[in-house]
């Protein structure tokens, strides 16, 4: 837990050094995203009859700061509904934020115009969890992969076939299958189609949203190896969203942990797994089943995950936190630096 331990670990293992001062490739400043949960018929009727029913607001993402530097792999973890996908879609530029700023190479994307805006968006691509739902079932693989590059002038009609072949080969697919439709492929192959499609527009930054969650372990290993190879070959930067801490530990340089719309902790990967600060991170790590465990008593975090429609006041984690005290119930803890590169949002850090 000491600082020296942390430094020696990050020096021993991190293959790259990222300085705090360089301009991040992607930066979010106090980004929030709200969704209005529409009233159903029963609620509308009740309101017409005079009941005090209001449209409920979900704070899917609540004042999040995030920096991803060029060449880095940042893991984003948290439980279902905590806002990972929403944050990922904002970062990828396919969902507008309600508040806050998104910067691409230091420039606010809302100020980018015309060609620059278009290219900025193409450079950020997203790969989804369900490779089937995200592929048009009526399109052949060649068109799924080659359509966007053609539209954006990355290839021509004349070179289309060679271009598609190259993209497929890079994702580990046999180009001989390019006339086929998505349903004619296995889950792992479909995920490769999604990867080929994303890479075909020459992105620099990839958001992977649970990209291996639906795959069996042996296929998962093949796809994760492909991600790591592509990172080296193409100098890619990743935001890697996953609920699987083993996967995140294996390939991330840094890990960001979310709970109910907020970032609660952020640190270099070794640090998270050896010296997590936030009580939620600690509980999460204790709950993860590990293949090395034998007939052990499962560590348990008490209580349910609260509804994001009605999150607890103060620190969102307080009803489940073993260390909660009065202040936690009223005051939102700020995310602040507690060690070099490690930030945590917990009032316990003020006591020391």
Ligand X SMILES: Nc1ncnc2c1ncn2[C@@H]1O[C@H](COP(=O)(O)OP(=O)(O)OP(=O)(O)O)[C@@H](O)[C@H]1O
What residues make contact with ligand X under the rule CB under 6 A? 35, 37, 58, 60, 78, 80-86, 243, 308
Name the binder of 58 from another protein, Mg ion, ligand X, none, CB < 5-8 A by kind.
ligand X
- In the bound state, the residue with its beta carbon closest to Mg ion is 85
CB under 8 A: which stretch of 58-66, 83-91, 167-175, 281-289 binds another protein? 281-289
Using CB under 6 A, pick the residue from 317, 338, 342, 343 that binds ligand SF4.
317
Binding status of residue 328 toward ligand SF4 by CB under 6 A: yes
Name the binder of 85 from ligand SF4, another protein, Mg ion, none, CB < 5-8 A by kind.
Mg ion
Binding status of residue 260 toward ligand SF4 by CB under 6 A: no
CB under 5 A: which stretch of 29-37, 81-89, 109-117, 285-293 binds Mg ion? 81-89
Closest approach, Cβ 258 to ligand SF4, in A, equals: 14
Binding status of residue 250 toward another protein by CB under 8 A: yes
Name the binder of 234 from ligand X, ligand SF4, another protein, none, CB < 5-8 A by kind.
none
**Span 289-348, contacts to another protein by CB under 8 A:** 289-302, 304-305
Closest approach, Cβ 299 to another protein, in A, equals: 6
Q: How many Å apart are CA 274 and CA 257, to the nearest integer?
A: 15
Binding status of residue 85 toward Mg ion by CB under 5 A: yes
Using CB under 6 A, pick the residue from 83, 131, 268, 333 that binds ligand SF4.
333
Residues at the interface with Mg ion (CB under 5 A): 85
């Amino acid at each position: 837990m000491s600082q020296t331990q942390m430094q020696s670990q990050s020096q021993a293992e991190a293959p790259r050094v990222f300085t705090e001062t360089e301009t991040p490739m992607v930066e979010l400043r106090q980004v929030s995203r709200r969704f209005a949960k529409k009233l159903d018929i029963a609620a509308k009727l009740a309101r017409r009859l005079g009941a005090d029913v209001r449209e409920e607001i979900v704070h899917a993402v609540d004042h999040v700061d995030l920096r991803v530097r060029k060449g880095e792999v940042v893991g984003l973890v948290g439980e279902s509904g905590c806002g990972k996908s929403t944050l990922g879609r904002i970062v990828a530029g396919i969902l507008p934020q309600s508040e806050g700023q998104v910067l691409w190479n230091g420039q606010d994307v809302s100020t980018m115009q015309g060609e620059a805006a278009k290219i900025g968006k193409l450079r950020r691509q997203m790969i989804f969890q369900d490779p089937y739902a995200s592929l048009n079932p009526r399109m052949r693989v060649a068109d799924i992969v080659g359509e966007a590059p053609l539209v954006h002038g990355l290839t021509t009609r004349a070179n289309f076939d060679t271009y598609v072949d190259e993209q497929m080969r890079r994702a580990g697919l046999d180009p001989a299958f390019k006339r086929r439709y998505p349903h004619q492929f296995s889950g792992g192959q479909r995920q490769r189609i999604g990867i080929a499609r994303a890479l075909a527009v020459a992105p620099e930054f990839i958001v992977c949203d649970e990209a291996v969650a639906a795959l069996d372990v042996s296929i998962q290993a093949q796809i994760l190896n492909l991600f790591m190879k592509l990172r080296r070959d193409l100098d890619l930067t990743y935001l890697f969203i996953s609920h699987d801490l083993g996967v995140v530990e294996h390939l991330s340089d840094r890990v960001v942990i979310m709970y109910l719309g907020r970032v609660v902790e952020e640190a270099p990967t070794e640090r998270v797994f050896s010296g997590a600060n936030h009580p939620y991170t600690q509980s999460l790590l204790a709950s993860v089943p590990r293949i090395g465990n034998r007939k052990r008593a499962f560590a348990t975090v008490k209580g349910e995950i609260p509804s994001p429609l009605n999150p607890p006041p103060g620190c969102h984690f307080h009803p489940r936190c073993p260390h909660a005290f009065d202040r936690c119930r009223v005051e939102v803890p700020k995310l602040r630096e507690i060690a070099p590169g490690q930030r945590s949002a917990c009032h316990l850090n003020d006591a020391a």
